[in-house]
Chains A and B, each alone.
Chain A
Amino acid sequence: MEAVKVIEIKKSVFAENEQDANQLRKELKGKGVFLLNLMSSPGSGKTTTLIQTINRLKEHLNIAVMEADIDSDVDAIRIKEATGIPSIQLHTGGMCHLDAEMTRQGLDNLELQNIDLVILENVGNLVCPAEFDTGAACNAMLLSVPEGHDKPLKYPLMFSICDVVVVNKMDVLPYFDFDLEQCKEWIHMRNPKAEVIPISAKTGEGVDAFAAWLLQKVNNWKL
């Protein structure tokens, strides 16, 4: 009988993606392109927030958007119509997240030499995108009031990797028992450095603060 030979590997399945992501981040830094990875649950208001934010920043920066979706084009079209900036759709082919390789393929479809900021709207999901570094300069997470203030306890990994948590749909606060201070405390328990910015993408409240945060990050990246 043939002998069985064992080959030891002992390697995390995420290791290769992390290498790809670090390489991509380095290349983007070299080109002066800032990539923001925006994550959230489905329907928390990513596309609406992006439209509001882009309309405040497009005078100052050249912006492009990549919309990742399992299978549809509606968000890319919405962005293009509402802001006039280039926006492309990435289909993940049934996958629940984007990895660095897929992000790179998306970026290849943009004319990066003219662009300062690329925003990636990741697939709506709080688990998988947190595990796959896309090569972004910053990770942002959108949490909306109706989802509840205990999300940081339920999805610790997502909150621990975010540079900023935008709390959206503040206009509906009176109808929900969402405790913003408690939420901040739980976010900071996971991630003491995370910035927390409350907004309403519907009324525009707080969007200036988020836009200012982002503009400063982009400008620092280019130094």
Chain B
Amino acid sequence: MAPSVAERLLERLDQAGVSGGLCSIEAAAEFGVDHQTLVGAVKSLQALGEVIEAEARTATRWELSPEGEEVLRCGSPEVRLFRSLPEEGLPQSEAMKLPGGSLGFSKAMANKWVRLDKGAPGGPRVLRAVLSVQDTVQEHLGQVRAGGAQGLPERERTELKRRKLLLEVTLKSYWIRKGSAFSTALARPETELTPEMIATGSWRRLPFKPYNFSSLGLPPACGHLHPLLKVRSQLRQIFLEMGFTEMPTDNFVESSFWNFDALFQPQQHPARDQHDTFFLLDPAEAPQLPPGYSSKVKKVHSQGGYGSQGYRYEWKVEEARKNLLRTHTTSASARALFRLAQQEKFTPVKYFSIDRVFRNESLDATHLAEFHQVEGVVADRGLTLGHLMGTLRQFFTKLGISQLRFKPAYNPYTEPSMEVFSYHEGLKKWVEVGNSGVFRPELLLPMGLPENVSVIAWGLSLERPTMIKYGIKNIRELMGHRVNLQMVYDSPMCRLDV
């Protein structure tokens, strides 16, 4: 096996003597290898420790450009023009066609080697102005080519550079010397411990290549959960810790009845407009509404009852049958509460759900036609607004939000209603983090729940806390197929309480 460049370099250094050094460029020329290859060898030797010392140097070298090469071969344009010009001169237009051309002409004019007789018969004529000329440009280039660039006056070099005949090349090189641990016997340090080394005990005498601790490790082959999934599982965890049972929400298609009417939301309510809700073409209508219950809902809307004045309008079953993509998971809560009311004996419950809802909204950086709603519901005898606030405080504290205040609000299906605000340290203001309230009796009593049972509930979106937690500005990077996978790869684990 032929000795490697590194080995040859060590040999060569050994010959140079202790005090001597070596230029990497010269060494490359001597070994007949590319300079880069030699630099590679220097780097690999440096990695071994103090075997060699290499001092980085920057050298400037002058080289001839392709045009410069041509001038060196054929002479400068001005000289070529001068020499081709006959003694009687030529009309200007023809002189331009001589070797050297217009560039040679203008240079020769500047040097006052030729002159232009404007009054000559038949138009301006170019005539020689001196007898002979010397091609200093060619000579200078020759001098550079012979390695004598340093001998040229600065002014000349600059002029040749300006004429793009000379190029200044910067060369990085090394001045190589023996290091304190110099040895020609290249004992290549081991990169890794092997089973053989352990078996033979050779590890005791072998040098090991040091690790580069500042580089990054190999990324593990692993999956990445979407940030929404991470925040969702945290929220589920919080609900489960608080004793909440997950509600079934596996029906994106819902009837207007469960989405609105059961929640005592009147049929003329703006949310029931085409502009706010996606209605279905097929299946356009729900085949069945709960028979006894829907007539009670009709009555409480149109005539009142259960202590209510009602909305006093003509309730239409066709309107209630209209199918839609559910606009909130509260429709699922209504179904769960209805099931609860059908039990023989009422038992207190705590329910939660986190699932997809759909709104016919104008799409922008913070609004999508579908998003996730987080909802919590507690049904028990004698629950108060204070209980709602206490529950909210527990929930939001677990979310890492401790500074809360409550603003009176209006929701069609809760009364009293309160918006939950938290103080945002970054924005230095109170921001809304959720909506809540006590379900109206007009909603609960027709279901058949006992009169002294109160139901408190609250909701928030899953996307908003996720966007805040992960610093995502555009919801379209979070939801939908335009999700940014790099963001998914890079997002850290979710701990909401810190």
Q: Do A and B bind each other?
A: no
* Chain A positions near chain B (C-beta within 8 angstroms): none
